[in-house]
């Protein structure tokens, strides 16, 4: 069954493809909706030819710390996947409503997700210009992690094998052996510098060193955002700092005004998010976002 679209642009819905037949011809369907509140709502849709249609709220699934942009049921309705502005993908067990997997390999907003019809494959699409294909085993589900747990994992708990997996995910497969020989775990990874890459790891390629440092900085930025608890939509995509004077560019995204003005003056007038040519250089104040940031500051900085 195709996904249903709610009336507002900020909310997306999916109806589980599996209906449950009740007594006297009554049919029940589960509906999942997601939106700006960072949550997924589960609804029960029931209808008969005689009684008509009825929609009832059932429960709320949490786990994301930023708006949820996409959600989809598995073919048999036993799992639900969601993608968020916080760059993570979460897979839920729809029967127990617990988290099975938290996937954090994307480096930009996750905008789409879908299960394969008959096998345990999952596809997720992101604004980092990648589509990731996942295969997993339900017999060994991942444990749910809080934001603090995720930060701890990034800083303290990555093993050398975890670092190797991260290198492969970033397209840096050629460095796996070098990092293993030098016993680079998560803590050592975060401490790497341009000098240590040259002197200690003997990485001669300037381009390769630059890519490693850029990917490590992206990881540091992610940890900083997680540890600060600042909603990702409040951070400027250019500076990754909390916005004070947000503006909307012609690509539809919001940026810190000064950062976007500098970007336009120094770059080739392309979107920082899509790399496409901006149709207009006009920057419109985003007063709604500015008010939301102010309210968040009032609540969290007392």
Q: Is residue 4 part of a domain?
A: no
Number of independent structural domains in the chain: 3
Residues 276, 224 share a domain: no
Residues 191, 153 share a domain: yes
Q: Which is nearest to 259 in space by CA: 277, 272, 274?
A: 272
Task: List Cα–Cα distances, 230 to 9, 128, 148, 239, 275, in angstroms.
Answer: 23, 21, 13, 14, 25
Q: Is residue 285 part of a domain?
A: yes
Tens digit of each residue's pLDDT, the chain (302 residues): 333 333 233 334 455 544 444 444 556 788 999 988 888 999 888 766 566 677 888 889 988 988 899 999 988 788 899 999 888 999 998 888 888 888 888 888 999 999 988 777 889 999 888 888 887 654 444 433 434 444 445 555 678 887 887 788 778 888 899 999 999 888 888 888 889 898 888 888 888 888 888 888 877 766 665 555 677 778 888 887 889 999 999 988 899 999 999 988 886 688 888 778 888 899 999 998 898 888 888 876 55
Residues 284, 243 share a domain: yes
What SS3 string covers 254-266? EEEHHHHHHHHHH
Q: How far is CA 3 from the centre of its chain?
A: 21
Q: Is residue 262 part of a domain?
A: yes
β-bridge mates for residue 255, sequence order: 247
pTM of the predicted protein model: 0.45
Greatest CA separation for the chain: 77
Residues 40, 163 share a domain: no
Q: Is residue 240 part of a domain?
A: yes
CATH of the domain at 185: 1.10.150.50
Residues 289, 197 share a domain: no
Residues 126, 43 share a domain: yes
Residues 189, 108 share a domain: no
Q: Answer for the pair 133, 169: CB distance below 8 angstroms, yes or no.
A: no
Out of 113, 144, 175, pick the residue that ends a domain.
144
Q: Which residues contact 195 (CB under 8 A, 6 or more apart)?
A: none
Q: Which sign does the torsion angle of CA 168, 172, 177, 182 carry? A: negative
Out of 228, 245, 271, pick the residue that ends a domain.
228
d(CA 89, CA 79): 13
Q: Answer for the pair 66, 38: CB distance below 8 angstroms, yes or no.
A: yes
CATH of the domain at 122: 2.130.10.10
pLDDT score recorded for residue 222: 64
Residues 89, 31 share a domain: yes
Residues 135, 85 share a domain: yes
Residues 95, 30 share a domain: yes
CATH of the domain at 270: 3.30.40.10
Residues 63, 20 share a domain: yes
Q: Is residue 250 part of a domain?
A: yes
Strand order in the sheet with 110-115: 110-115, 121-126, 131-135
Residues 124, 19 share a domain: yes
β-bridge mates for residue 126, sequence order: 110
β-bridge mates for residue 20, sequence order: 28
Out of 228, 256, 272, pick the residue that ends a domain.
228
Q: Is residue 164 part of a domain?
A: yes
Q: Is residue 6 part of a domain?
A: no
pLDDT score recorded for residue 241: 81
d(CA 191, CA 182): 13
Note down the domain range covering 19.
Answer: 12-144
pLDDT score recorded for residue 217: 80
pLDDT score recorded for residue 15: 53
Q: Which is nearest to 213 in space by CA: 196, 237, 227?
A: 196
Q: Is residue 273 part of a domain?
A: yes
């Amino acid at each position: 069954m195709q996904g249903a679209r709610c009336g507002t642009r900020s909310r997306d819905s999916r109806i589980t493809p599996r209906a449950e037949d009740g007594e006297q011809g009554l049919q029940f369907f589960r509906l999942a909706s997601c939106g700006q509140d960072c949550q997924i709502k589960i609804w029960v849709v029931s209808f008969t030819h005689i009684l008509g249609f009825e929609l009832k709220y059932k429960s709320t699934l949490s786990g994301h710390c930023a708006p949820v942009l996409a959600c989809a049921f598995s073919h048999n309705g036993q799992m639900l996947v969601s993608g968020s502005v916080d760059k993570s993908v979460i897979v839920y067990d729809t029967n127990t409503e617990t988290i099975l997997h938290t996937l954090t390999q994307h480096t930009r907003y996750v905008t789409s997700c879908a299960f394969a019809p008959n096998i345990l494959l999952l596809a997720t699409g992101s604004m980092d210009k990648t589509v990731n294909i996942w295969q997993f085993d339900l017999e060994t589900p991942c444990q749910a992690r809080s934001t603090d747990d995720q930060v701890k994992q990034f800083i303290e708990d990555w093993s050398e094998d975890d670092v190797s997996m991260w290198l492969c995910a970033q397209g840096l497969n050629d460095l796996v052996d070098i990092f293993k020989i030098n016993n680079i775990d998560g803590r050592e990874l975060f401490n790497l510098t341009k000098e240590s890459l040259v002197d200690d790891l003997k990485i001669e390629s300037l381009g390769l060193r630059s890519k490693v440092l850029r990917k490590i900085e992206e990881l540091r930025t992610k940890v900083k955002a997680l540890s600060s608890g600042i909603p990702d939509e409040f951070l400027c995509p250019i500076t990754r700092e909390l916005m004070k004077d947000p503006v909307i560019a012609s690509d539809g995204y919001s940026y810190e005004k000064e950062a976007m003005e500098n970007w336009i003056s120094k770059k080739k007038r392309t979107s920082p998010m899509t790399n496409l040519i901006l149709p207009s250089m006009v920057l419109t104040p985003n007063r709604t976002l500015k008010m939301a940031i102010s309210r968040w500051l009032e609540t969290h900085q007392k």
